[in-house]
Amino acid sequence: MIKVILFSLLLGITGLASAQTSSVDLSQYPAPVTFTNEQDHANMQQQLGIQVLRPGPSGNESAPNAANYEEAKANPCPDLPDILTTSKGQKVTSDEMWWKVRRPELVEALETEVYGKLPDDIPTVNWKVKITDREFVARTPVIAKQIIGHVDNSSYPMIDVNINMILVVPANVKGPVPVLMMFGRPSFPAPAQPSGEDMEVLNTSFKEMMIKNDSSLKSLFDKYPAYNPVTRLPGPNFFAPPTNGESPSTEQLLAAGWGYVTLDPSSIQADNHAGITRGIIGLINKGQPRSPADWGALRAWAWGAARALDYLETDTLVDSKKVGIEGVSRYGKAALVTMAFEPRFATALIGSSGKGGTTLHRRVFGEAVESLAGGENYWMAGNYMRYGAEKADFGRMDGCDLPVDSHDMLALCAPRPVFVSYGIPEKGDSKWLDQKGSYMAVVAAGVAYKLLGAKDLGVTNDYMKEEMPAFNTGMLDGDLAWRQHDGGHTDAPNMQYFIPWANRVLNYSKE
């Protein structure tokens, strides 16, 4: 059966300015630089004075430069920077000392060395609800909104940034609801469809339009007089089994009385080197290359999530004090960056985030610092490349030279609750991600949670001695939570555990 899709979404597109700027004299602005991946990488390497970068290890275990998977070789510098010791060597013993002295130090160091600083002159975002639709997701009635955030580009009309997200909230729950913001590709879950009468009007008009365009089609329609080219999509299945732990994460959230947002990271900043002179980073830099201290894509995505939260604070359907952030893989990294640097997010579900996420940078197991410095360095501040330098104006540096690590990022989240999720290598959550390196960071970060009166994993904070629990063993009694499920590169199997945990730590009940 031929199905003709008449409904389309205006996706937020990050790139060169649209035809709306055609009336502006663009000759007064510098033309945006267009880099290849190699050119962007070489440009940053030159700015930093790096002559030779060490290549990252191979994920192929039979390759000559295969990544290390021997635990005995994984910790060349086992002593992590102490979360509760200031740069002047003072022990942090109070909340006040944490908030006024130590936490600002960690923010400064993590911005400078790893993720980049937010520019001072980021323009405002104007949010507009483009479409509001009433739909059903499984058995749950919902209100779905497509929301576009236009970034003011009057300072550089050559680049448009239109942040695209979709908000879906259950319509059968009283009052504002908590929302989990998820990095991904937005789409309406189940667009409402025309009635039978309206469908007949559409088909009549559509047939006339097709025949007008191609008169030979009239004989076809005469041959099949009952055929309608525009057909209804399958509607909600009210006889479907109740939502359970095997259901899609979005269905589980809605059934539990939560809403969700799907936020398109590519509408904020492209996920490649070539896009670094476009998107929000390119807009701020007027299409020119980054400097070493500038923010990378992870920080840009996190900035976009914070701006999306700005909108949610104005929506009466949302409890903006109970908005969480979620992501898997590179978006798990972005979820951690969002949670660490934006204090308004109430909780986080960080899935399979690896290096640049919850895994310790200085660990040499699977993915390495050199992997990010030599490959996806556009995720990070340019300065991060220095830690992959074999020969440079400043000498040789590696992960052991980093003054901060991922346990510090988790500490910045304290005392707000964070759930760290992984799968198992046998199902596709590769050893490359170094699950144990993430567990060690969570264990080490517990000292900040306990200092601030929150509960950590409930183990000692000796990250070198604590053993990672077996998969499917939940450590969910505290504000820091860990669970390695028996699935692959996804956090979906842990959603059924995250929701009740989040309800408890956020004090939320659907009833």
CATH superfamily, with its number, for domain 71-190+250-506: Alpha/Beta hydrolase fold, catalytic domain (3.40.50.1820)
Rounded-to-integer distance, Cα 276 and Cα 10, Å: 23
Sequence-distant (6+) residues with CB within 8 A of 137 are 168, 189, 190, 236, 250, 251, 254
d(CA 161, CA 497): 36
Selection from 433, 415, 417 nearest residue 425 by Cα: 433
Rg, C-alpha atoms of the chain: 25
Looking at residue 445, what is its pLDDT? 98
Cis peptide before 104 (omega within 30 of 0): no
pTM beyond 0.85: yes
Which residues, at least 6 apart from 81, have a Cβ–Cβ distance to it below 8 Å? 402, 403, 404, 405, 408
How many CB atoms are located within 10 Å of the residue 25 CB? 8
Phi/psi of residue 231, nearest 5 degrees: -120, 160
Coil/strand/helix, residue 270 = coil
**Taking the alpha carbons of 238, 196, 142, 333 in that order, is the dihedral positive or negative?**
positive
Taking residue 310's Cβ as centre, other Cβ atoms within 10 Å add up to: 14
Phi–psi pair at 31, nearest 5 degrees: -70, 140
Q: Which region holds residue 279: left if phi is over 0, alpha if psi is between -120 and 50, else beta?
A: left
Residue of 449, 460, 440 lying closest to 417 (CA atoms): 449
Q: Are 252 and 499 in contact (CB under 8 A)?
A: yes
Say how many Å lie between the first and final Cα of the chain, rounded.
Answer: 44
Report H helices in 151-247.
196-213, 217-223
What pLDDT shows up at residue 314? 98
Q: What is the pLDDT of residues 182-212, one digit of tens each?
A: 999 999 997 766 767 776 777 778 778 878 8
Per-residue confidence (pLDDT) for residue 208, from 0 to 100:
81
Type and span of the H or E element at 109: helix 103-110
User: At residue 207, what are phi and psi to the nearest 5 degrees?
Assistant: -60, -45
Strand duo 140-151 + 162-170: pairing: antiparallel
Contact 37, 273 (CB under 8 A): yes
The whole-angstrom separation of Cα 327 and Cα 265 is: 11
pLDDT digits (tens, 9 = 90+) for 1-46: 333 333 333 333 344 555 445 567 778 888 999 999 899 999 999 9
Q: What is the pLDDT of residue 236?
A: 60
* Contact partners, residue 197, CB within 8 Å, separation at least 6: none
Q: What is the pLDDT of residue 133?
A: 95
Nearest to 436 by CA among 103, 109, 78, 110: 78
Q: What is the pLDDT of residue 213?
A: 86
The answer to whether 286 and 141 have CB atoms below 8 angstroms apart is no
pLDDT less than 70: residues of the chain: 1-23, 192-193, 195, 199, 232-240
Q: Provide the strand spans (E) within 395-444.
A: 418-422
User: Which pLDDT value is given to residue 239?
Assistant: 61
Token pair belonging to 468 = 């990672």
Return d(Cα 216, Cα 179) in angstroms, integer.
Answer: 52
Annotated domain spans of the chain: 71-190+250-506
Residue 77: how many other CB atoms lie within 10 Å: 15
Dist. CA 151–CA 164, nearest whole Å: 11
DSSP sequence for 118-156: PPTTPPPEEEEEEEEEEEEETTEEEEEEEEEEEE--TT-
Q: What is d(CA 502, CA 234) in angstroms, rounded to the nearest whole number?
A: 33
CA 130, chain centre distance (Å): 23
Give CA–CA dist 274/145, Å, rounded.
Answer: 31
Q: Work out the burial of residue 28: count CB atoms within 10 Å of its CB; fewer than 13 is exposed, 13-18 middle, 19 or more buried.
A: exposed
Structure tokens at 437: 């390196």
Alpha carbons 408 and 400: distance in angstroms, whole number: 15
Tokens standing for residue 323: 């908005």
* Distance from the Cα of residue 187 to its chain's centroid: 16
Give the alpha-carbon dihedral of 292, 296, 302, 307, to 10 degrees: 80
